Structures are given as C-alpha cells and as structure tokens.
Amino acid sequence: MKQRKARVERKTKETQIAAAVNLDGKGVYRVETGLPFLNHMLELLSRHALADMTIKAQGDLEVDYHHTVEDLGLVLGEALDKALGTRRGITRYGWSLIPMDDALSGAAVDLGGRPYLVYHIANRRRKIRDFDLKLIEEFFRALVVKARMNLHIVNLYGEEPHHAYESVFKAVARALRMAVSRDPRETGLPTSKGKL
C-alpha cells in the first residue's frame, strides 16, 4: 500500500521552513526550529502519532518567536493535508486522554475538512524559560487551518507547565494517529455528503 507522504516549504522575509511528513511511519523525527521547548513538543507529536517528521525552521527569533511558531503550524498543517490526499479510507475521527504525572489533557480530531480549533488550558503559567506558552495556541490555530481539521484540545489540570503541555501534544498525537489510520471497512470517503 502506498505510503502517505508530503513535503512542504515556505519562505518569507521572516521565516524559512521545510517539513516532510510520512503518516505511515514509525515516529522517527528530526526537528530543528531554534526553539528547544518547541522541538521537544514536535518530537513528541511525531513519536506518539507514529508519523515520521523532518522539520527545519529558521526564523527571525531575535525579533520574536511568533513568526516561527505560527509558520511552523502552517507548514506542518499543509504537509498533513497533502499527505492525506483525498482522505479516502481513513478513520476520520480520533480522540485521546493522556496523563503526564500531575497533568491530564484530552484531544479530539475530525479530519472532515472543516478547520476549527477549540483550545482550553487549565495551566495558567505563561512561560517555560523564555518561551511564551500562548504561542502554542497560535501553532495549533495555524495547523488546523492548513490541515483542514477540527481540533478540540483541553488541558483539564496540571500544576507543572511542562507536564501540562507535554500531555497536550501527546493527546493530539494519539488522536491524530487514530484519525489518519486506514479503516479496512471504509472503501470511500468517510462522509454522507460525498465530499470532504
């Protein structure tokens, strides 16, 4: 069966980003964004979704992290959309609930083609080192638009911010892994409309 792969590049005056995705991989990753915390989160996404990912980003980090983080979401989302192709035969929906020590987070995905993000984080810490955690929402908002997915994320609780966000990325990864999986009983598009 043909592997579902895609590579996307984006170059602007603010960022240069390339991402390659294999949805039928083993969770092998190589991530270089210039932002160590985000590297770690994207590595978790790859590993727990069992999607191979190669991501390389250079951005104007001396100005702000926002351009790089948002553009990473755009590029990775576009790569996911391209790798999914027509979306024939996929499970379409996925969900998970993931603990990480004191934190618990859930995610639900619908790959039905309608972009929408619902994002609720109980942890109120603003930063991990110099990384503004509000940028994680910007990453996911850009991701859902380009991936054409509906994504609901909820961090239910967790005092330690690293644990809270790690559980978020693992929950999204596991939900995505379920949603992109091939359903042997689904021979066409998983919709009653005839089009996703």
Residue 106 lies in a domain: yes
Residue 14 lies in a domain: yes
Quick one: average pLDDT of 185-190?
85
- Report percent pLDDT > 90 for the chain: 91
Residue 166 lies in a domain: yes
**51-106 pLDDT, tens per residue?**
999 999 999 999 999 999 999 999 999 999 999 999 999 999 999 999 999 999 99
Please give the angle made by the CA atoms of 139, 143 and 144, to the nearest 5 degrees: 125
What pLDDT, on the 0 to 100 scale, is given for residue 1? Answer: 61
Residue 24 has pLDDT above 70, yes or no: yes
Residue 39 lies in a domain: yes
Cβ pair 164, 155 in contact under 8 A: yes
What pLDDT, on the 0 to 100 scale, is given for residue 112? Answer: 96
- Give the domain range for residue 176: 5-180
What's the CATH code of the domain at 33?
3.30.230.40
- 188 — pLDDT class (breaks 50, 70, 90): confident
Give CA–CA dist 61/145, Å, rounded.
23
Element (DSSP H or E) covering residue 108:
strand 103-110
Residue 44 has pLDDT above 70, yes or no: yes
Residue 191 lies in a domain: no
Residue 192 lies in a domain: no
Q: Whole-model pTM?
A: 0.96
Q: How many domains does the chain divide into?
A: 1
- 41 — pLDDT class (breaks 50, 70, 90): very high
Residue 25 lies in a domain: yes
CA dihedral 166, 26, 149, 12 (to 10 degrees): 80
**149-175 pLDDT, tens per residue?**
999 999 999 999 999 999 999 999 999
Give CA–CA dist 84/88, Å, rounded.
8
Residue 193 lies in a domain: no
Structure tokens at 87: 């979306």
Give CA–CA dist 147/128, Å, rounded.
27
Residue 195 has pLDDT above 90, yes or no: no
**92-113 pLDDT, tens per residue?**
999 999 999 999 999 999 999 9
